[in-house]
Chain A
Amino acid sequence: MTATNQISADQTVTDQIADTWNRFWFTPADPRPLVAVRILTAVLGLMLLWSYAADLQTWFGPDGMLPVETVAVLRPPAGWSLYDVATTTTAVWAIFAATVVALVMTGAGVVPRPSAVVAALLWASLLNRGPMLAGPADDCLAVLLWCLVAAAFSAAVGRGLLQVHAAAIAAAAAVAQLKGDVWWDGTAAWWLAARAESRLVDLTGLFRASEYLMNLTTHAVPAFEILFAIGLWFAATQPLVARAGLVAWPLIGLFAGQPAWGFALAIFCVPFAWPRVSDRATP
Protein backbone atom coordinates (compact mmCIF):
# COMPACT_ATOMS: atom_id res chain seq x y z
CA MET A 1 0.00 0.00 0.00
CA THR A 2 1.44 3.38 -0.97
CA ALA A 3 1.63 6.35 1.38
CA THR A 4 -1.12 8.10 -0.56
CA ASN A 5 -3.42 5.11 -0.25
CA GLN A 6 -2.70 4.88 3.51
CA ILE A 7 -3.61 8.54 4.03
CA SER A 8 -6.75 8.05 1.97
CA ALA A 9 -7.77 5.00 4.02
CA ASP A 10 -7.18 6.89 7.30
CA GLN A 11 -9.30 9.74 6.06
CA THR A 12 -12.05 7.34 5.14
CA VAL A 13 -12.10 5.83 8.63
CA THR A 14 -12.03 9.27 10.24
CA ASP A 15 -14.77 10.46 7.91
CA GLN A 16 -16.86 7.42 8.73
CA ILE A 17 -16.53 8.00 12.46
CA ALA A 18 -17.39 11.67 12.01
CA ASP A 19 -20.36 10.80 9.79
CA THR A 20 -21.64 8.25 12.29
CA TRP A 21 -21.22 10.70 15.16
CA ASN A 22 -22.98 13.51 13.26
CA ARG A 23 -25.78 11.24 12.11
CA PHE A 24 -26.40 10.01 15.66
CA TRP A 25 -26.27 13.33 17.48
CA PHE A 26 -27.28 15.87 14.87
CA THR A 27 -29.82 14.28 12.51
CA PRO A 28 -33.04 16.22 13.11
CA ALA A 29 -35.37 14.12 15.28
CA ASP A 30 -39.14 14.00 15.32
CA PRO A 31 -40.09 16.04 18.40
CA ARG A 32 -43.44 14.29 18.91
CA PRO A 33 -42.13 11.24 20.79
CA LEU A 34 -40.19 13.62 23.03
CA VAL A 35 -43.44 15.38 23.91
CA ALA A 36 -44.74 12.02 25.12
CA VAL A 37 -41.51 11.50 27.09
CA ARG A 38 -41.94 14.94 28.64
CA ILE A 39 -45.52 14.27 29.75
CA LEU A 40 -44.77 10.79 31.08
CA THR A 41 -41.68 12.05 32.92
CA ALA A 42 -43.75 14.70 34.62
CA VAL A 43 -46.30 12.06 35.65
CA LEU A 44 -43.52 9.87 37.06
CA GLY A 45 -42.02 12.87 38.84
CA LEU A 46 -45.32 13.76 40.48
CA MET A 47 -45.77 10.13 41.57
CA LEU A 48 -42.34 10.07 43.18
CA LEU A 49 -42.88 13.47 44.79
CA TRP A 50 -46.12 12.15 46.23
CA SER A 51 -44.14 9.37 47.92
CA TYR A 52 -42.11 12.06 49.71
CA ALA A 53 -44.99 14.33 50.66
CA ALA A 54 -46.40 12.51 53.69
CA ASP A 55 -43.02 12.16 55.41
CA LEU A 56 -41.36 15.34 54.20
CA GLN A 57 -41.28 17.05 57.59
CA THR A 58 -40.56 13.78 59.43
CA TRP A 59 -37.37 13.49 57.39
CA PHE A 60 -36.30 17.01 56.47
CA GLY A 61 -38.21 19.24 58.88
CA PRO A 62 -36.42 21.35 61.52
CA ASP A 63 -36.61 18.50 64.07
CA GLY A 64 -36.67 15.72 61.50
CA MET A 65 -34.97 12.35 61.50
CA LEU A 66 -32.39 13.38 58.90
CA PRO A 67 -30.70 16.59 60.10
CA VAL A 68 -28.58 18.42 57.54
CA GLU A 69 -25.38 17.97 59.57
CA THR A 70 -25.83 14.17 59.66
CA VAL A 71 -26.67 13.86 55.98
CA ALA A 72 -23.72 16.09 55.08
CA VAL A 73 -21.38 13.51 56.62
CA LEU A 74 -22.99 10.63 54.73
CA ARG A 75 -23.21 12.07 51.23
CA PRO A 76 -20.30 12.86 48.87
CA PRO A 77 -18.49 16.12 49.66
CA ALA A 78 -19.77 17.75 46.47
CA GLY A 79 -23.35 17.04 47.46
CA TRP A 80 -25.47 20.09 48.03
CA SER A 81 -29.17 20.69 48.41
CA LEU A 82 -31.38 23.73 48.45
CA TYR A 83 -33.16 22.07 51.37
CA ASP A 84 -29.95 22.46 53.40
CA VAL A 85 -30.79 26.11 53.92
CA ALA A 86 -34.48 25.48 54.64
CA THR A 87 -34.58 25.78 58.42
CA THR A 88 -38.33 26.14 58.85
CA THR A 89 -41.30 23.96 58.04
CA THR A 90 -42.61 26.59 55.66
CA ALA A 91 -39.32 26.80 53.77
CA VAL A 92 -39.21 23.03 53.27
CA TRP A 93 -42.78 23.02 51.95
CA ALA A 94 -42.06 26.03 49.72
CA ILE A 95 -39.16 24.29 47.95
CA PHE A 96 -41.20 21.11 47.63
CA ALA A 97 -44.12 23.05 46.14
CA ALA A 98 -41.75 24.75 43.69
CA THR A 99 -40.63 21.28 42.54
CA VAL A 100 -44.24 20.27 41.93
CA VAL A 101 -44.88 23.44 39.93
CA ALA A 102 -41.70 22.99 37.88
CA LEU A 103 -42.64 19.41 37.03
CA VAL A 104 -46.17 20.37 36.03
CA MET A 105 -44.80 23.15 33.81
CA THR A 106 -42.30 20.75 32.28
CA GLY A 107 -45.03 18.25 31.51
CA ALA A 108 -47.27 20.91 30.04
CA GLY A 109 -44.45 22.36 27.96
CA VAL A 110 -44.81 25.82 29.50
CA VAL A 111 -41.56 27.77 28.97
CA PRO A 112 -39.92 24.39 28.36
CA ARG A 113 -36.25 25.32 28.73
CA PRO A 114 -36.33 27.13 32.10
CA SER A 115 -38.96 24.80 33.56
CA ALA A 116 -36.99 21.66 32.62
CA VAL A 117 -33.78 23.10 34.09
CA VAL A 118 -35.51 24.16 37.32
CA ALA A 119 -37.32 20.81 37.64
CA ALA A 120 -34.06 18.88 37.17
CA LEU A 121 -32.20 21.06 39.68
CA LEU A 122 -34.95 20.89 42.31
CA TRP A 123 -35.29 17.13 41.91
CA ALA A 124 -31.53 16.68 42.32
CA SER A 125 -31.72 18.94 45.35
CA LEU A 126 -34.39 16.77 46.96
CA LEU A 127 -32.36 13.60 46.38
CA ASN A 128 -29.17 15.18 47.71
CA ARG A 129 -31.03 16.13 50.89
CA GLY A 130 -31.62 12.48 51.72
CA PRO A 131 -29.47 10.19 49.52
CA MET A 132 -30.24 7.16 51.69
CA LEU A 133 -33.91 7.45 50.71
CA ALA A 134 -33.31 7.51 46.96
CA GLY A 135 -33.89 4.45 44.80
CA PRO A 136 -33.41 3.41 41.20
CA ALA A 137 -36.60 5.12 40.02
CA ASP A 138 -35.36 8.41 41.47
CA ASP A 139 -32.07 8.02 39.59
CA CYS A 140 -33.92 7.35 36.34
CA LEU A 141 -36.12 10.40 36.84
CA ALA A 142 -33.05 12.60 37.34
CA VAL A 143 -31.59 11.29 34.07
CA LEU A 144 -34.89 11.73 32.23
CA LEU A 145 -35.18 15.32 33.40
CA TRP A 146 -31.64 16.18 32.29
CA CYS A 147 -32.32 14.53 28.93
CA LEU A 148 -35.39 16.74 28.62
CA VAL A 149 -33.23 19.77 29.35
CA ALA A 150 -31.00 18.76 26.42
CA ALA A 151 -34.06 18.02 24.28
CA ALA A 152 -35.44 21.50 24.98
CA PHE A 153 -32.42 22.85 23.12
CA SER A 154 -31.96 20.08 20.54
CA ALA A 155 -34.38 17.21 19.99
CA ALA A 156 -31.63 15.15 18.35
CA VAL A 157 -29.23 15.50 21.26
CA GLY A 158 -32.01 14.78 23.75
CA ARG A 159 -32.98 11.66 21.84
CA GLY A 160 -29.37 10.53 21.63
CA LEU A 161 -28.85 10.96 25.36
CA LEU A 162 -32.02 8.99 26.07
CA GLN A 163 -30.68 6.14 23.94
CA VAL A 164 -27.24 6.16 25.57
CA HIS A 165 -28.73 6.16 29.07
CA ALA A 166 -31.39 3.54 28.33
CA ALA A 167 -28.69 1.15 27.11
CA ALA A 168 -26.35 2.02 30.00
CA ILE A 169 -29.03 1.50 32.65
CA ALA A 170 -30.09 -1.86 31.20
CA ALA A 171 -26.50 -3.08 30.80
CA ALA A 172 -25.48 -1.95 34.28
CA ALA A 173 -28.51 -3.68 35.81
CA ALA A 174 -27.67 -6.92 33.98
CA VAL A 175 -24.03 -6.77 35.08
CA ALA A 176 -25.04 -6.06 38.68
CA GLN A 177 -27.50 -8.94 38.72
CA LEU A 178 -25.09 -11.43 37.20
CA LYS A 179 -22.65 -10.84 40.05
CA GLY A 180 -25.07 -12.75 42.28
CA ASP A 181 -25.27 -16.54 42.32
CA VAL A 182 -29.05 -16.50 42.48
CA TRP A 183 -29.25 -15.15 38.93
CA TRP A 184 -27.19 -18.11 37.72
CA ASP A 185 -28.80 -20.90 39.75
CA GLY A 186 -32.25 -19.70 38.74
CA THR A 187 -33.61 -18.83 42.20
CA ALA A 188 -33.56 -15.02 42.05
CA ALA A 189 -37.24 -14.99 41.05
CA TRP A 190 -38.05 -16.86 44.24
CA TRP A 191 -36.14 -14.43 46.47
CA LEU A 192 -37.96 -11.53 44.84
CA ALA A 193 -41.39 -13.15 45.06
CA ALA A 194 -40.89 -14.29 48.66
CA ARG A 195 -40.37 -10.79 50.06
CA ALA A 196 -43.67 -10.84 51.85
CA GLU A 197 -43.75 -7.19 52.88
CA SER A 198 -42.64 -5.35 49.75
CA ARG A 199 -43.90 -7.54 46.93
CA LEU A 200 -46.75 -6.31 44.78
CA VAL A 201 -47.72 -9.66 43.30
CA ASP A 202 -47.46 -13.02 45.02
CA LEU A 203 -46.07 -15.63 42.63
CA THR A 204 -44.69 -17.95 45.31
CA GLY A 205 -47.44 -20.50 44.68
CA LEU A 206 -46.52 -20.70 40.98
CA PHE A 207 -42.81 -20.99 41.72
CA ARG A 208 -43.39 -23.66 44.35
CA ALA A 209 -45.38 -25.61 41.79
CA SER A 210 -42.81 -25.31 39.00
CA GLU A 211 -39.08 -24.92 39.48
CA TYR A 212 -38.65 -24.50 35.72
CA LEU A 213 -41.01 -21.54 35.69
CA MET A 214 -38.99 -19.94 38.51
CA ASN A 215 -35.76 -20.56 36.55
CA LEU A 216 -37.26 -19.19 33.36
CA THR A 217 -38.46 -16.04 35.09
CA THR A 218 -35.05 -15.55 36.67
CA HIS A 219 -33.11 -15.96 33.43
CA ALA A 220 -35.57 -13.88 31.43
CA VAL A 221 -34.82 -10.68 33.36
CA PRO A 222 -31.07 -10.29 32.66
CA ALA A 223 -31.51 -11.85 29.21
CA PHE A 224 -33.99 -9.13 28.30
CA GLU A 225 -31.77 -6.44 29.77
CA ILE A 226 -28.80 -7.60 27.67
CA LEU A 227 -30.89 -7.87 24.50
CA PHE A 228 -32.34 -4.43 25.16
CA ALA A 229 -28.94 -2.81 25.75
CA ILE A 230 -27.55 -4.26 22.51
CA GLY A 231 -30.65 -4.20 20.32
CA LEU A 232 -31.18 -0.50 20.89
CA TRP A 233 -28.11 0.22 18.73
CA PHE A 234 -29.24 -1.43 15.49
CA ALA A 235 -31.84 0.16 13.24
CA ALA A 236 -33.40 -3.20 12.43
CA THR A 237 -33.91 -4.24 16.05
CA GLN A 238 -34.36 -0.89 17.77
CA PRO A 239 -38.15 -0.56 17.33
CA LEU A 240 -38.60 -4.19 18.29
CA VAL A 241 -36.68 -4.05 21.59
CA ALA A 242 -38.14 -0.65 22.40
CA ARG A 243 -41.70 -1.92 21.93
CA ALA A 244 -40.84 -4.99 23.98
CA GLY A 245 -39.45 -2.64 26.62
CA LEU A 246 -42.73 -0.74 26.82
CA VAL A 247 -44.29 -3.95 28.12
CA ALA A 248 -41.37 -5.80 29.71
CA TRP A 249 -39.94 -3.03 31.90
CA PRO A 250 -43.21 -2.33 33.75
CA LEU A 251 -43.70 -6.09 34.20
CA ILE A 252 -40.17 -6.51 35.61
CA GLY A 253 -40.71 -3.51 37.87
CA LEU A 254 -44.01 -4.87 39.10
CA PHE A 255 -42.54 -8.31 39.75
CA ALA A 256 -39.44 -6.92 41.51
CA GLY A 257 -41.46 -4.60 43.72
CA GLN A 258 -40.04 -1.55 41.89
CA PRO A 259 -42.97 -0.40 39.74
CA ALA A 260 -41.74 3.18 39.42
CA TRP A 261 -38.37 1.94 38.15
CA GLY A 262 -40.13 -0.20 35.55
CA PHE A 263 -42.30 2.74 34.50
CA ALA A 264 -39.23 5.00 34.24
CA LEU A 265 -37.43 2.56 31.96
CA ALA A 266 -40.52 2.22 29.80
CA ILE A 267 -40.44 6.00 29.32
CA PHE A 268 -36.91 5.68 27.93
CA CYS A 269 -38.29 3.33 25.26
CA VAL A 270 -40.92 5.73 23.87
CA PRO A 271 -38.78 7.61 21.30
CA PHE A 272 -37.38 4.37 19.87
CA ALA A 273 -40.53 2.32 19.56
CA TRP A 274 -41.16 3.65 16.08
CA PRO A 275 -38.53 4.29 13.37
CA ARG A 276 -37.24 7.83 12.95
CA VAL A 277 -38.92 9.86 10.22
CA SER A 278 -35.48 10.28 8.60
CA ASP A 279 -34.83 6.53 8.80
CA ARG A 280 -38.10 5.75 7.10
CA ALA A 281 -37.32 8.24 4.33
CA THR A 282 -33.93 6.64 3.68
CA PRO A 283 -34.12 3.78 1.17
Chain B
Amino acid sequence: MRGVVTCGLVLYLAGLLLALAGNTSSGTSALVRTIKSRIYAPLLVPVWLDLGFDTHLTWGTPADADHALVIGREDEAATGTVLRFPAAAGGGERAARWRRLARTIAAGDVAGEAPALLATAAAAGTFAALGGADVNLMVERTAPGARDAVAPPRPEAAYRARVRRVGDDAQGGDIQLVKVEDRSEVAPLARRRAVNTEPAGTEPADPEPPAASEARP
Protein backbone atom coordinates (compact mmCIF):
# COMPACT_ATOMS: atom_id res chain seq x y z
CA MET B 1 0.00 0.00 0.00
CA ARG B 2 2.87 2.37 0.85
CA GLY B 3 4.31 1.78 -2.62
CA VAL B 4 1.08 2.87 -4.29
CA VAL B 5 0.78 5.98 -2.08
CA THR B 6 4.45 6.80 -2.72
CA CYS B 7 3.95 6.58 -6.49
CA GLY B 8 0.88 8.81 -6.25
CA LEU B 9 2.74 11.35 -4.11
CA VAL B 10 5.77 11.45 -6.42
CA LEU B 11 3.52 11.98 -9.43
CA TYR B 12 1.57 14.72 -7.67
CA LEU B 13 4.68 16.51 -6.38
CA ALA B 14 6.09 16.53 -9.91
CA GLY B 15 2.80 18.07 -11.06
CA LEU B 16 2.97 20.65 -8.29
CA LEU B 17 6.48 21.65 -9.38
CA LEU B 18 5.35 21.97 -12.99
CA ALA B 19 2.31 23.99 -11.93
CA LEU B 20 4.53 26.36 -9.93
CA ALA B 21 6.97 26.71 -12.82
CA GLY B 22 4.28 27.00 -15.46
CA ASN B 23 2.02 29.59 -13.85
CA THR B 24 4.26 32.55 -13.23
CA SER B 25 3.96 36.06 -14.60
CA SER B 26 7.44 35.65 -16.08
CA GLY B 27 6.31 33.21 -18.73
CA THR B 28 6.98 29.53 -19.22
CA SER B 29 9.45 27.54 -21.24
CA ALA B 30 8.10 25.45 -24.10
CA LEU B 31 9.33 22.30 -22.34
CA VAL B 32 7.49 22.96 -19.10
CA ARG B 33 4.40 24.20 -20.96
CA THR B 34 4.25 21.11 -23.15
CA ILE B 35 4.71 18.59 -20.34
CA LYS B 36 2.25 20.40 -18.12
CA SER B 37 -0.42 20.89 -20.75
CA ARG B 38 -0.23 17.36 -22.17
CA ILE B 39 0.21 15.29 -19.04
CA TYR B 40 -0.86 17.25 -16.00
CA ALA B 41 -3.36 19.88 -17.12
CA PRO B 42 -6.16 17.36 -17.79
CA LEU B 43 -5.72 16.15 -14.20
CA LEU B 44 -5.00 19.39 -12.37
CA VAL B 45 -7.22 21.96 -14.12
CA PRO B 46 -10.64 20.39 -13.46
CA VAL B 47 -9.85 20.06 -9.73
CA TRP B 48 -8.37 23.60 -9.58
CA LEU B 49 -4.86 22.54 -8.66
CA ASP B 50 -3.00 23.96 -11.67
CA LEU B 51 -1.86 26.87 -9.53
CA GLY B 52 1.25 29.04 -9.46
CA PHE B 53 0.53 30.85 -6.16
CA ASP B 54 2.40 33.89 -7.49
CA THR B 55 0.67 36.33 -5.18
CA HIS B 56 2.75 39.46 -5.71
CA LEU B 57 0.33 41.72 -3.79
CA THR B 58 1.58 44.77 -5.70
CA TRP B 59 4.32 45.83 -8.06
CA GLY B 60 3.23 49.45 -7.94
CA THR B 61 2.03 49.31 -11.55
CA PRO B 62 -1.27 50.64 -12.93
CA ALA B 63 -2.46 47.05 -13.24
CA ASP B 64 -2.28 46.75 -9.44
CA ALA B 65 -4.54 49.75 -8.89
CA ASP B 66 -8.19 49.52 -7.89
CA HIS B 67 -10.40 48.82 -10.90
CA ALA B 68 -14.16 49.11 -11.28
CA LEU B 69 -16.58 48.29 -14.05
CA VAL B 70 -18.96 51.11 -15.01
CA ILE B 71 -21.73 50.44 -17.52
CA GLY B 72 -24.34 52.94 -18.67
CA ARG B 73 -26.77 53.27 -21.53
CA GLU B 74 -25.61 55.08 -24.63
CA ASP B 75 -28.43 57.57 -24.06
CA GLU B 76 -27.42 57.80 -20.44
CA ALA B 77 -28.06 61.50 -20.30
CA ALA B 78 -31.75 60.79 -20.91
CA THR B 79 -32.12 57.84 -18.54
CA GLY B 80 -29.44 58.55 -15.96
CA THR B 81 -29.00 54.85 -15.23
CA VAL B 82 -25.47 53.70 -14.58
CA LEU B 83 -24.31 50.46 -13.02
CA ARG B 84 -21.06 50.33 -11.08
CA PHE B 85 -19.33 47.13 -10.00
CA PRO B 86 -18.31 47.07 -7.20
CA ALA B 87 -21.06 49.42 -6.13
CA ALA B 88 -18.96 51.23 -3.55
CA ALA B 89 -15.41 51.48 -2.31
CA GLY B 90 -14.37 48.98 0.33
CA GLY B 91 -12.53 45.76 0.91
CA GLY B 92 -13.95 42.29 1.05
CA GLU B 93 -13.99 39.35 -1.31
CA ARG B 94 -17.18 40.32 -3.14
CA ALA B 95 -15.76 43.66 -4.24
CA ALA B 96 -12.42 42.01 -4.99
CA ARG B 97 -14.10 39.64 -7.46
CA TRP B 98 -15.58 42.57 -9.39
CA ARG B 99 -12.21 44.29 -9.40
CA ARG B 100 -10.56 41.15 -10.81
CA LEU B 101 -13.15 41.01 -13.57
CA ALA B 102 -12.60 44.68 -14.40
CA ARG B 103 -8.82 44.19 -14.34
CA THR B 104 -9.08 41.26 -16.75
CA ILE B 105 -11.07 43.39 -19.20
CA ALA B 106 -8.64 46.28 -18.86
CA ALA B 107 -5.75 43.93 -19.64
CA GLY B 108 -7.23 43.48 -23.11
CA ASP B 109 -4.53 45.53 -24.78
CA VAL B 110 -1.82 43.13 -23.69
CA ALA B 111 -3.73 39.89 -23.41
CA GLY B 112 -5.09 39.58 -26.94
CA GLU B 113 -8.68 39.50 -28.06
CA ALA B 114 -10.13 37.24 -25.40
CA PRO B 115 -10.82 40.05 -22.88
CA ALA B 116 -12.86 41.80 -25.59
CA LEU B 117 -15.15 38.78 -25.54
CA LEU B 118 -15.39 39.20 -21.81
CA ALA B 119 -16.20 42.90 -22.13
CA THR B 120 -18.88 42.10 -24.70
CA ALA B 121 -20.44 39.42 -22.52
CA ALA B 122 -20.31 41.55 -19.37
CA ALA B 123 -21.95 44.50 -21.09
CA ALA B 124 -24.57 42.34 -22.80
CA GLY B 125 -25.39 40.86 -19.40
CA THR B 126 -26.58 44.29 -18.28
CA PHE B 127 -28.94 44.95 -21.21
CA ALA B 128 -31.95 43.79 -19.22
CA ALA B 129 -31.03 45.74 -16.10
CA LEU B 130 -30.38 48.90 -18.10
CA GLY B 131 -33.44 48.45 -20.29
CA GLY B 132 -31.53 48.97 -23.52
CA ALA B 133 -29.23 47.15 -25.92
CA ASP B 134 -26.75 49.95 -26.57
CA VAL B 135 -24.40 50.64 -23.68
CA ASN B 136 -21.04 52.18 -22.87
CA LEU B 137 -18.66 50.09 -20.79
CA MET B 138 -15.75 51.60 -18.98
CA VAL B 139 -13.11 50.12 -16.70
CA GLU B 140 -12.33 52.82 -14.21
CA ARG B 141 -8.89 52.72 -12.63
CA THR B 142 -7.94 54.63 -9.51
CA ALA B 143 -4.16 54.50 -9.28
CA PRO B 144 -2.72 55.22 -5.83
CA GLY B 145 -1.15 58.63 -5.47
CA ALA B 146 2.55 59.01 -4.85
CA ARG B 147 3.76 59.36 -1.26
CA ASP B 148 4.53 63.04 -1.69
CA ALA B 149 1.39 63.82 -3.72
CA VAL B 150 -0.88 66.49 -2.32
CA ALA B 151 -3.99 65.96 -4.43
CA PRO B 152 -5.99 62.74 -4.02
CA PRO B 153 -5.79 60.26 -6.91
CA ARG B 154 -8.33 60.73 -9.71
CA PRO B 155 -10.02 57.83 -11.49
CA GLU B 156 -9.13 57.36 -15.13
CA ALA B 157 -10.57 55.23 -17.92
CA ALA B 158 -8.40 52.15 -18.46
CA TYR B 159 -10.71 50.69 -21.10
CA ARG B 160 -13.74 52.02 -22.91
CA ALA B 161 -16.05 50.39 -25.40
CA ARG B 162 -19.52 50.74 -26.80
CA VAL B 163 -21.45 47.48 -26.86
CA ARG B 164 -24.73 47.16 -28.74
CA ARG B 165 -27.03 44.68 -30.33
CA VAL B 166 -27.22 45.08 -34.08
CA GLY B 167 -29.65 43.48 -36.48
CA ASP B 168 -33.12 42.22 -35.83
CA ASP B 169 -33.88 42.40 -32.11
CA ALA B 170 -36.70 39.91 -32.47
CA GLN B 171 -34.26 37.30 -33.76
CA GLY B 172 -31.67 38.03 -31.13
CA GLY B 173 -29.28 40.01 -33.30
CA ASP B 174 -25.50 40.11 -32.99
CA ILE B 175 -23.62 41.85 -30.24
CA GLN B 176 -21.04 44.32 -31.49
CA LEU B 177 -18.19 45.83 -29.48
CA VAL B 178 -16.54 49.01 -30.66
CA LYS B 179 -13.53 49.87 -28.56
CA VAL B 180 -13.17 53.57 -27.88
CA GLU B 181 -9.59 54.79 -28.08
CA ASP B 182 -8.29 57.91 -26.44
CA ARG B 183 -7.94 60.76 -28.90
CA SER B 184 -4.21 60.84 -28.19
CA GLU B 185 -3.90 57.23 -29.36
CA VAL B 186 -5.74 57.77 -32.62
CA ALA B 187 -3.60 58.70 -35.61
CA PRO B 188 -4.21 62.26 -36.77
CA LEU B 189 -6.06 62.73 -40.05
CA ALA B 190 -3.45 63.46 -42.68
CA ARG B 191 -5.93 63.92 -45.48
CA ARG B 192 -9.57 64.60 -45.56
CA ARG B 193 -10.37 61.51 -47.66
CA ALA B 194 -8.93 59.33 -44.91
CA VAL B 195 -12.13 59.94 -42.94
CA ASN B 196 -14.05 57.64 -45.25
CA THR B 197 -11.68 54.71 -44.81
CA GLU B 198 -11.17 54.91 -41.09
CA PRO B 199 -12.11 51.75 -39.17
CA ALA B 200 -15.16 51.95 -36.96
CA GLY B 201 -13.13 51.56 -33.75
CA THR B 202 -11.11 54.70 -34.37
CA GLU B 203 -13.88 57.02 -35.39
CA PRO B 204 -13.75 60.32 -33.64
CA ALA B 205 -17.26 59.68 -32.37
CA ASP B 206 -16.11 59.42 -28.81
CA PRO B 207 -18.95 58.89 -26.39
CA GLU B 208 -18.44 60.34 -22.98
CA PRO B 209 -17.82 57.64 -20.37
CA PRO B 210 -20.72 57.03 -18.04
CA ALA B 211 -20.49 58.83 -14.78
CA ALA B 212 -19.69 56.61 -11.84
CA SER B 213 -22.23 58.22 -9.63
CA GLU B 214 -25.02 55.72 -9.38
CA ALA B 215 -24.91 52.53 -7.41
CA ARG B 216 -26.02 49.30 -8.98
CA PRO B 217 -29.62 48.35 -8.25
Q: Is A283 an interface residue (CB 8 A)?
A: no
Q: Bits for B1-27, please: 1 = Cβ < 8 Å to A, else 0.
A: 010011001000100100010001110
Closest Cβ–Cβ distance, residue B207 to chain A (whole Å): 21
Name the distance in Å between A255's Cβ and chain B's nearest Cβ: 9
Query: Is A177's beta carbon under 8 Å from chain B?
Result: yes
Q: Does A94 belong to the interface (CB within 8 Å)?
A: no
Closest beta carbon of chain B to A209's beta carbon, Å? 11
Inter-chain pairs besides A70-B120, A188-B59, A190-B144, 7 sampled, C-beta below 8 Å: A21-B6, A143-B51, A172-B53, A181-B60, A192-B58, A196-B89, A196-B144
Contacting pair B66 A26 (CB below 8 A): no
Output the nearest chain A residue to B152 by Cβ-Cβ distance: A196
Q: How far is the CA of A195 from the CA of B49 in the complex (A)?
A: 30
Q: Do residues B58 and A179 form an inter-chain contact, with CB atoms below 8 A?
A: no
Q: Chain B contacts of A76 at CB under 8 A?
A: 37, 41, 45, 50
A180 and B60 in contact, given A54-B94, A136-B55, A172-B20 (Cβ under 8 angstroms): yes
Write out the residue numbers on chain A whose beta carbons fall within 8 Å of the beta carbon of B122. Answer: 65-66
Given contacts A187-B147, A191-B60, contact A142 B41 (CB under 8 A): no
Interface of chain A, main secondary structure: helix
- Cross-chain contact of A259 among B47, B91, B118 (Cβ < 8 A): B91
- Of residues 44 through 86 on chain A, the ones whose CB sits less than 8 Å from some CB of chain B are 47-48, 51-52, 54-55, 58, 63-67, 70, 73-80
**Interface on A for B, CB 8 Å cutoff?**
21-22, 25-26, 47-48, 51-52, 54-55, 58, 63-67, 70, 73-80, 120-121, 123-124, 127-128, 132-137, 139, 142-143, 146, 154, 157, 160, 164-165, 168-169, 172-173, 175-177, 179-183, 187-188, 190-192, 194-200, 207-208, 214, 221, 256-261
How far, in angstroms, from A78 to B39 measured CA to CA in the complex? Answer: 11
A196-B153, A197-B68, A207-B147 known; A55 vs B94 contact (CB < 8 Å): yes
B46 within 8 Å of A by Cβ?
Answer: yes
14 pairs, A vs B, C-beta closer than 8 Å: A25-B9, A66-B118, A124-B49, A128-B48, A172-B52, A177-B55, A181-B59, A187-B147, A196-B89, A198-B90, A198-B96, A214-B147, A256-B57, A259-B91
Is B42 in the interface zone, CB < 8 Å from A? Answer: yes
Nearest-neighbour CB distance to chain A for B213, whole angstroms, equals 15
- Return chain A residues, CB-CB under 8 Å to B68: 197
B97 in the interface (beta carbon within 8 A)? yes
**B162 on the A face (CB < 8 A):** no
State A139–B25 Cα separation when bound (angstroms): 16
Question: Which single residue of chain B is at the shortest CB-CB distance from A265?
Answer: B55
The reply to whether B6 and A168 contact each other, CB–CB distance below 8 Å, is no
Interfacial chain A residues near B32, Cβ < 8 Å: none
Residues of B within 8 A of A (CB): 2, 5-6, 9, 13, 16, 20, 24-26, 37, 41-42, 44-61, 64-66, 68, 89-101, 104, 114, 117-118, 120-122, 124-126, 128, 142, 144-145, 147, 152-153
A195–B144 touching, CB < 8 Å: yes
Task: Report Cα–Cα, A75/B60, bound state, in Å.
Answer: 27
A26 to B55, CA, bound (A): 31
Closest residue of chain A to B121 (Cβ to Cβ) is A70
Closest chain-B Cβ to A114's Cβ sits at a distance in Å of 16
Of A137, A139, A177, A197, the contact of B66 (CB 8 Å cutoff): A197
**Across the interface, which residues of B come within 8 angstroms of A64, CB to CB?**
125
Q: Are A78 and B45 in contact (CB under 8 A)?
A: yes
Closest to B50 in A: A76
- Tell me if B125 and A180 are in contact (CB < 8 A): no
Complex partner residue of A66 from B60, B125, B128, CB under 8 angstroms = B125
Q: Residues of A contacting B54 with CB < 8 Å?
A: 172-173, 175-176
Minimum CB–CB distance for A64 against chain B, Å: 5
**Closest residue on chain B to residue A153 by CB atoms:** B5
B residues near A258, Cβ cutoff 8 Å: 55, 57, 96
Q: Which residue of A lies closest to B107 (CB)?
A: A132
Residue of A47, A164, A192 near B93 (CB, 8 A) is A47
Taking CB atoms, residues of chain A closer than 8 Å to B41 are: 76-78
Nearest Cβ on chain A to B2's Cβ, whole angstroms: 6
B121 touches A197 (CB 8 A): no
